[in-house]
Amino acid sequence: MSAEASDTVTIPRAELEALKAELRRLRREVGRRTARTRIEADPGPGDAAPTFSRSDLAEAWGISE
């Protein structure tokens, strides 16, 4: 890819690093918001889901406590 001199710009390295840091922060924020939305929308297993004690699980998995 080639660019003509009129199509390019230069910015100080510190400004570039600051912009990259801001982009990382914004991406993390969006990721957290997306995760929270998914978690809050998940109805969970419901009341009919089985529950197990530690000893029940240990027995089912063939391990002892």
pLDDT tens per residue, range 17-56 = 999 999 999 999 999 999 999 999 988 888 888 888 999 9
Q: Are 7 and 1 in contact (CB under 8 A)?
A: no
Q: How far apart are CA 36 and CA 43, in angstroms?
A: 13
Under 8 Å between Cβ of 54 and 65? yes
Read off the DSSP letter of residue 48. T
**How far is 41 from 36, CA to CA, in rounded Å?**
8
Q: How confident is the model at residue 64 (pLDDT cuts 50, 70, 90)?
A: confident
Domain ranges of the chain: 10-44
Q: Per-residue b/e over 30-40, b at no fewer than 16 CB within 10 Å?
A: eeeeeeeeeee
pTM of the model: 0.54
| Rounded mean pLDDT, 1-7 | 67
Across 2-11, average pLDDT: 78
